[in-house]
């Protein structure tokens, strides 16, 4: 039992095989893509492996503390930021191999021409609770 | 005035009630749902009017729920043949019902996560929500995990004995993994293992129970109030739970006397030697190394050999520990942490600090990472002074 984050990048991941921006797809292709993502999440709920799925807006603001009694400083968004997270899915699976298998399936979501996007997803393990028995 | 229902007592009746329903001919999945309904009902109505015979009450209510559900199901499938509503007499119980449920819920066809969830619900009587919280997944996901598990074992015959080793692995996982939410999983694992030990006379069941009790005894001292890990050598031994230790040692000694050694007995023996030392310095490391040798013979586990290297380092000095470590694959989890510790003991603080930082980077959980980072920082600060 281990949780993994399947991370989808707007920018920062290697280029997908079927690398056509979404605004160039047909409306039907977009609908098919959304349906694939929904079905994928529903299927994982059915197998007892789904934890969470969220999408993020592309534009973010950087914030930092600026001393007592002063409002935080904000900056950005930075157009040149190399790595931009688009969203994620969290899964709870029996093995690393299963996490890789599922990420592979998610990467097969259809894009332009109804063909799989083959986009690169990043798989990151969660840190767990410490076990009781270690020695 | 209402009184609280003793929930642990109530839940301890779960496996025998479920066993009776299955013996009467109810299929396992439907019977399990009916027993859950009866438990919920008991929590609701017992405070106002506790029954004289709690188990009889649960059987009656659960059976009624099962029949209601079977009727509703039959009504839904009008065109099909109606299910027989009257219970067929079950086969005479050859093996204890409670034990059969443990076997079924830990069936080898289930994944570990499914077996854990099903055991906690069908044997432990926990609700799906409680189990979901303990493993930090949505309730809907856990509900699906449990119902799939029930479907997986639906064809398994209830009257055939299973493998105790698979049950023990599931209980070990419950004890050792999971998060503390509403339910204390470690205490629950001990309760379930105790119940199993009452149902079957087996030295490894006793060994696992002893192992859990001995580790549980140290729980209060394993972390500081802010959650930082406290290594065994620095724990306040005065706060170890002596009652739990005494019970664990007695159970272990009785098991070992039967001369059927297994990995849980060997692990418990190591825990008992730690528990037995009034101070860390008085630990009998020579005997601990011998037990690790036994354990390595029994399991052939690289993790055991890693822990053995630590023990060798204590028994024969850090150089001997490092020599034992050199024989092991450096990609093993916690290899760098062990190497860091042994190098520090050997006086090589530069290497130790570097390895602690490397170990922190690879740590599988936050508490360990923070602990290892502090070790690296401690050595770096000392060198800079």
Chain-wide mean pLDDT for chain B?
91
pLDDT value of position B84: 47
B84-88, B250-254, B347-351, range with the lowest pLDDT: B84-88
CB B342, CB B334: distance < 8 Å: no
Q: Provide, as residue numbers in chain B, all residues whose Cβ is less than 8 Å from the Cβ of A45.
A: 138, 140-141, 144
Q: What is the mean pLDDT of residues B153-164?
A: 84
What does each of the 135 residues of chain A score in pLDDT, given as a tens digit?
799 999 999 888 888 888 888 888 999 999 999 999 999 999 999 999 999 999 998 888 899 999 999 999 998 877 777 788 999 999 999 999 999 999 999 999 999 999 999 999 999 999 988 888 876
pLDDT value of position A134: 74
**Bridge partners, A6 (sequence order):** A89, A123
A42: nearest CA in chain B?
B141
pLDDT value of position B95: 59
Query: Nearest CA to B255 among B299, B211, B289?
Result: B211
pLDDT value of position B2: 45
Dihedral (C-alpha) A90, B358, B333, B303: value to the nearest 10 degrees? -160
Give the count of Cβ contacts less than 8 A between chain A and B. Answer: 87
pLDDT value of position B86: 47
Q: What is the mean pLDDT of residues B118-142?
A: 95
Dihedral (C-alpha) B126, B128, B131, B135: value to the nearest 10 degrees? 180
Rounded to a whole number of angstroms, the distance from the CA of B24 to the nearest CA of chain A is 30
| C-alpha separations of B49 from B2, B3, B125, B139, B209 in Å | 9, 9, 21, 31, 36
C-beta atoms of B307 and A135 within 8 A: yes
Q: How many CB atoms lie within 10 A of CB A93?
A: 22
C-beta atoms of B141 and A131 within 8 A: no
Would an 8 Å CB–CB cutoff place A54 in contact with chain B?
A: no
pLDDT value of position A19: 86
Q: Which CATH superfamily is domain A2-125 in?
A: Dimeric alpha+beta barrel (3.30.70.1060)
pLDDT value of position B83: 46
- Quote the CA–CA distance of B258 and B8 in Å, as a whole number: 32
Domain extents in chain A:
2-125
CB B73, CB B85: distance < 8 Å: no
Q: Provide, as residue numbers in chain A, all residues whose Cβ is less than 8 Å from the Cβ of B179.
A: 129
Rounded to a whole number of angstroms, the distance from the CA of B11 to the nearest CA of chain A is 24
pLDDT value of position B1: 41
B80-94, B157-171, B215-229, range with the lowest pLDDT: B80-94
Q: What percent of chain B has pLDDT over 90?
A: 78
Stronger pLDDT, B82 or B349, i.e. the higher one? B349
Stronger pLDDT, B266 or A85, i.e. the higher one? B266
CB A90, CB A5: distance < 8 Å: yes
* Token pair for B341: 């510790």
pLDDT at B219 over 60: yes
* Token pair for A133: 């028995």
pLDDT value of position B96: 79
* Interval B93-129: pLDDT, tens: 545 788 999 999 999 999 999 999 999 999 999 999 9
Burial (CB < 10 A; 0-12, 13-18, 19+), residue B132, is buried
First to last CA, chain A: 21
Rounded to a whole number of angstroms, the distance from the CA of B229 to the nearest CA of chain A is 9
Give the contacts of A54 (CB within 8 A, at least 6 positions apart): A87, A88
| C-alpha separations of B307 from A122, B29, B172 in Å | 33, 42, 18
DSSP three-state, residue A73 = strand
Query: Nearest CA to B378 among B351, B356, B347, B346?
Result: B356
Choose among A44, A52, A130: nearest Cβ to B367: A130
Q: What is the mean pLDDT of residues B143-156?
A: 93
Q: Provide, as residue numbers in chain B, all residues whose Cβ is less than 8 Å from the Cβ of A93.
A: 113
A115-124, B21-30, B279-288, range with the lowest pLDDT: B21-30
DSSP three-state, residue A119 = coil
Q: What is the mean pLDDT of residues B281-299?
A: 97
The pairs formed by B329-337 with CB atoms below 8 angstroms and a separation of 24 or more are B329/B302, B332/B302, B332/B303, B332/B306, B333/B303, B333/B362, B333/B364, B334/B303, B334/B306, B334/B359, B335/B306, B336/B362, B337/B363, B337/B368, B337/B372
DSSP state of B343: H
Give the contacts of A60 (CB within 8 A, at least 6 positions apart): A76, A77
- Provide φ and ψ at A23, rounded to 5°: -75, -5
ipTM of the complex model: 0.85
Domain extents in chain B:
7-76, 97-200, 204-283, 299-385
pLDDT value of position B3: 57
A135: nearest CA in chain B?
B307
Q: What is the mean pLDDT of residues B190-207?
A: 96
Would an 8 Å CB–CB cutoff place A97 in contact with chain B?
A: no
A44: nearest CA in chain B?
B141
CB B286, CB B315: distance < 8 Å: yes
pLDDT at B85 over 50: no
pLDDT value of position A83: 82
C-beta atoms of B141 and A135 within 8 A: no
CATH number of B299-385: 1.25.40
B187: nearest CA in chain A?
A132
pLDDT at B233 over 90: yes
């Amino acid at each position: 039992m281990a949780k993994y984050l399947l991370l989808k990048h707007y920018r920062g991941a290697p280029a997908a095989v079927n690398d056509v921006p979404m605004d160039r797809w047909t409306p039907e292709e977009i609908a098919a893509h959304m349906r694939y993502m929904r079905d994928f999440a529903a299927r994982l709920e059915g197998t007892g492996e789904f934890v969470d799925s969220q999408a993020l807006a592309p534009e973010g603001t950087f914030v930092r503390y600026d001393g007592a009694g002063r409002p935080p400083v904000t900056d950005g968004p930075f157009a040149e930021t190399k790595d931009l997270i688009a969203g994620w899915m969290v899964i709870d699976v029996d093995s690393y191999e299963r996490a890789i298998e599922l990420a592979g399936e998610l990467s097969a979501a259809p894009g332009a021409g109804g063909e799989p996007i083959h986009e690169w997803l990043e798989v990151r393990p969660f840190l767990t609770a410490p076990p009781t028995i270690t020695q | 005035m209402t009184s609280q229902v003793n929930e642990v007592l109530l839940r301890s009746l779960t496996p025998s009630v479920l066993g009776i329903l299955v013996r009467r001919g109810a299929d396992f999945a439907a019977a399990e749902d009916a027993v859950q309904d009866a438990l919920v009902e008991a929590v609701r109505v017992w405070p106002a009017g506790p029954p004289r015979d709690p188990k009889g009450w649960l059987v009656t209510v659960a059976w009624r729920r099962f029949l209601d559900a079977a009727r509703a199901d039959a009504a839904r499938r009008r065109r099909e043949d109606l299910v027989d509503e009257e219970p067929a007499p079950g086969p005479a119980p050859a093996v204890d019902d409670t034990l059969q449920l443990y076997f079924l819920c830990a069936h080898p066809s289930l994944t570990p996560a499914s077996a854990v969830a099903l055991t906690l619900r069908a044997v432990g009587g926990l609700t799906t929500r409680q189990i979901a919280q303990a493993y930090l997944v949505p309730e809907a996901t856990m509900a699906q995990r449990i119902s799939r598990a029930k479907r997986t074992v639906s064809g398994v015959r209830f009257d055939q004995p299973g493998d105790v080793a698979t049950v023990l692995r599931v209980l070990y996982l419950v004890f050792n993994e999971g998060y503390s939410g509403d339910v204390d999983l470690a205490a629950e694992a001990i309760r379930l293992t105790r119940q199993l030990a009452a149902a079957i006379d087996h030295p490894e069941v006793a060994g696992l129970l002893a192992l859990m009790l001995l580790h549980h005894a140290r729980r209060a001292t394993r972390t500081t109030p802010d959650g930082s890990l406290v290594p065994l050598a620095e724990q306040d031994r005065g706060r170890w739970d002596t009652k739990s230790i005494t019970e664990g040692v007695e159970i272990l000694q009785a098991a070992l006397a039967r001369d059927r050694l297994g990995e849980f007995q060997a692990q418990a023996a190591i825990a008992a030697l730690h528990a037995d030392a009034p101070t860390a310095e008085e630990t009998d490391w020579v005997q601990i190394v011998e037990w690790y040798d036994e354990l390595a013979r029994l399991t052939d586990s690289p993790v055991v050999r890693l822990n053995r290297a630590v023990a060798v380092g204590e028994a024969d000095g850090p150089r001997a520990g490092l020599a034992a470590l050199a024989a092991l694959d450096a990609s093993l989890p916690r290899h760098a942490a062990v190497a860091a510790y042994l190098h520090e003991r050997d006086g090589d603080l530069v290497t130790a600090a570097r390895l602690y930082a490397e170990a922190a980077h690879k740590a599988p959980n936050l508490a360990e990472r923070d602990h290892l980072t502090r070790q690296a920082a401690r050595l770096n600060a000392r060198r800079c002074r």
